[in-house]
């Protein structure tokens, strides 16, 4: 049953203020809430259910509100009117009211707080908000009370904050406005952003669980937490999950794989680390891989657009061609050597090998590191390496000794050049609409040329360049995720 109740604006404001008051009892607050709900169109049954009162009680307080207004919702004294004690109490109250009040000087306790109309509306909305936390709403209430002319002592009794806190938040409000009432951010680095914790998590995650004597084929949060605890790093499962997700991976899904299943993962990893630790001044270490094949067509991506502008990319497009970039990244000098291939095969790897041998002829030894693709481990390639390493060939052509340092199978995240490919894709492939393969090649050539020149002039990494914003630093580490999952299997 619906009852028409129309409280005035002043009555409604009073009833709404009851909902956030620390002086008004919860019983009176519920009665006021009942009137507000009924005024908003709710029927008696639903109102009673929402507040936790019986329908009979709701009718009772409706009747009192209609007769006496807001005052009718105040609880009446239980003592009957005929009781002599009640008369004595009334007489005492009258006598006390006739006594002259002591004048107190509240100048020191009074603070001058001025509020603009917009700020006042915002602080008042905080008192009814379900998204603003209680602490922030209470600080807003302090400012409202002081702006109405109340002193610090009165505000302290109404709001429940200490005097020191009141002075603190008033000062913050006067300096920073309404924004100064929000809780300041925590100081220091969060656990999820600490490099040592992130590095430890990914170094464990990249190895199969069997390396840590766990009889499972895939990782669980419980297992990761246990392995970290053994290393003296105590973190929660939620934090581990947060770190993994922030890196762009969702390793619970079968499509995205973070773990290498190579049974010799640890052995191969230690071999590469040993080579890097003993790398001489005349030695070079190359990270090698192919980028592509990339179809030449309109590409989407994030970009700055005008208001009400929504970029679109056709779902069905006719490709203008494709290209494959075969490249090698020298880790010491951070220089890239590249060319374009029609296919991924052993002949292209032999071609790259001969280019590197000729280009770095002054080196004593060069190390070639790549993933476990079939054309990287072909017999024909190994035979060619053996020919180059023969004393006759080296004496005749003056070339360095060639060593192979293959990565564990399924460990693309260790291939450092993948990080450079990710930065290149964001720079020249995203939001592109090249009209030909040659145009795309020119853009890639220019990007690599500028990158090489940058690192020749600035050996240290610069953060304001696109290659300074690559997924991770292009250095070899077992905790790095060089293969960006957003670009995995996308081309």
Torsion angles phi and psi, residue 354, rounded to 5: -70, -35
Mean pLDDT of 52-58: 83
Going by pLDDT thresholds of 50, 70 and 90, the confidence category of residue 338 is: very high
How far out from the chain centre does Cα 118 lie?
32
Mean pLDDT of 312-338: 90
Each residue's pLDDT tens digit, 291-323 = 989 999 998 888 777 888 888 888 888 999 999
pLDDT score, position 96:
47
pLDDT surpassing 80 at residue 253: no
Torsion angles phi and psi, residue 384, rounded to 5: -65, -40
**Rounded mean pLDDT of the chain?**
80
pLDDT score, position 460:
54
Between CA 75 and CA 12 the distance in angstroms is: 19
Between CA 44 and CA 62 the distance in angstroms is: 10
pLDDT surpassing 50 at residue 39: yes
pLDDT surpassing 80 at residue 354: yes
Residue bearing the bigger pLDDT, 25 or 362: 362
Going by pLDDT thresholds of 50, 70 and 90, the confidence category of residue 69 is: confident
Mean pLDDT of 355-365: 90
Each residue's pLDDT tens digit, 452-464 = 998 888 875 433 3
Report CA dihedral (453, 458, 460, 466) to the nearest 10 degrees.
-50
pLDDT score, position 341:
92
Each residue's pLDDT tens digit, 94-142 = 444 444 454 444 455 667 777 888 888 888 888 777 777 778 888 888 8
pLDDT surpassing 80 at residue 396: yes
pLDDT score, position 464:
32
Between CA 443 and CA 340 the distance in angstroms is: 13
| Inter-residue long-range contacts of 244-252, CB under 8 Å, 24+ positions, other chains counted | 244/201, 244/205, 246/192, 247/198, 247/202, 247/481, 248/471, 248/481, 248/484, 248/485, 248/486, 249/481, 249/485, 250/485, 251/205, 251/219
pTM: 0.47
Of 42-51, 167-176, 311-320, the one with minimum mean pLDDT is 42-51
Each residue's pLDDT tens digit, 363-385 = 999 999 888 888 888 899 999 99
Mean pLDDT of 442-459: 89
Report the share of the chain in percent with pLDDT over 70: 83
pLDDT surpassing 50 at residue 52: yes
Question: Are 485 and 478 in contact, with CB atoms under 8 Å apart?
Answer: no
Question: Are 431 and 396 in contact, with CB atoms under 8 Å apart?
Answer: no
pLDDT score, position 78:
63
Strand partners, 211: none
| Strand order across the 401-404 sheet | 335-341, 322-330, 283-295, 365-369, 401-404
């Amino acid at each position: 049953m619906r009852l028409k109740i129309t409280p005035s604006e002043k009555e409604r404001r009073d009833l709404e203020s009851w909902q956030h008051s620390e002086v008004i009892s919860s019983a009176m607050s519920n009665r006021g809430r009942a009137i507000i709900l009924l005024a908003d169109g709710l029927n008696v049954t639903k109102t009673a259910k929402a507040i936790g009162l019986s329908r009979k009680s709701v009718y009772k307080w409706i009747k009192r509100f209609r007769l006496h207004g807001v005052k009718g919702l105040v609880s009446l004294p239980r003592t009957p009117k005929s009781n002599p004690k009640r008369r004595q109490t009334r007489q005492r109250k009258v006598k006390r009211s006739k006594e002259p009040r002591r004048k107190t000087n509240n100048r020191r306790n009074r603070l001058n707080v001025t509020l603009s109309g917009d700020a006042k509306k915002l602080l008042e909305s905080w008192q009814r908000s379900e998204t603003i936390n209680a602490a922030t709403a209470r600080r807003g209430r302090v400012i409202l009370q002081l702006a109405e002319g109340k002193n610090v002592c009165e505000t302290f009794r109404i709001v429940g904050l200490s005097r020191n806190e009141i002075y603190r938040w008033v000062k913050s409000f006067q300096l920073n406005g309404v924004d100064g009432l929000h809780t300041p951010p925590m100081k220091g680095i969060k656990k999820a952003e600490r490099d040592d914790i992130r590095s430890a998590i990914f170094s464990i995650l990249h190895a199969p669980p069997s390396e840590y004597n766990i009889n499972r084929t895939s990782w669980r949060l419980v297992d990761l937490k246990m392995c970290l605890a053994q290393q003296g790093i105590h973190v929660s499962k939620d934090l581990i999950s947060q770190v993994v997700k922030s890196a762009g991976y969702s390793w619970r899904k079968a499509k995205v794989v973070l773990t290498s299943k190579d049974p010799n993962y640890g052995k191969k990893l230690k071999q590469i680390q040993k080579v890097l630790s003993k790398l001489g001044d005349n030695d070079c270490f190359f990270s090698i891989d192919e980028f592509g094949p990339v179809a030449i067509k309109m590409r989407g991506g994030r970009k700055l657009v005008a208001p009400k502008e929504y970029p679109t990319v056709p779902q069905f497009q006719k490709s203008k061609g494709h290209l494959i970039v075969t490249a090698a990244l020298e880790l010491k000098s951070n220089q890239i050597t590249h060319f374009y291939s029609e296919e991924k095969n052993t002949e292209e790897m032999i071609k790259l090998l001969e280019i590197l041998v000729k280009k770095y002829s002054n080196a004593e030894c060069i190390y070639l590191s790549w993933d476990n693709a079939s054309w990287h481990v072909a017999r024909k390639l190994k035979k060619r390496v053996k020919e180059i390493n023969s004393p006759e060939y080296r004496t005749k052509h003056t070339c360095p000794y060639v060593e192979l340092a293959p990565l564990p199978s399924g460990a693309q995240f260790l291939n450092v050049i993948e990080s450079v490919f990710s930065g290149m894709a964001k720079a020249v492939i995203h939001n592109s609409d090249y009209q030909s393969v040659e145009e795309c090649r020119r853009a890639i050539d220019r990007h690599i040329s500028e990158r090489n020149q940058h690192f020749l002039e600035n050996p240290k990494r610069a953060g304001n360049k696109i290659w300074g914003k690559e997924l991770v630093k292009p250095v070899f580490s077992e905790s790095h995720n060089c293969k960006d999952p957003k670009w995995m299997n996308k081309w």
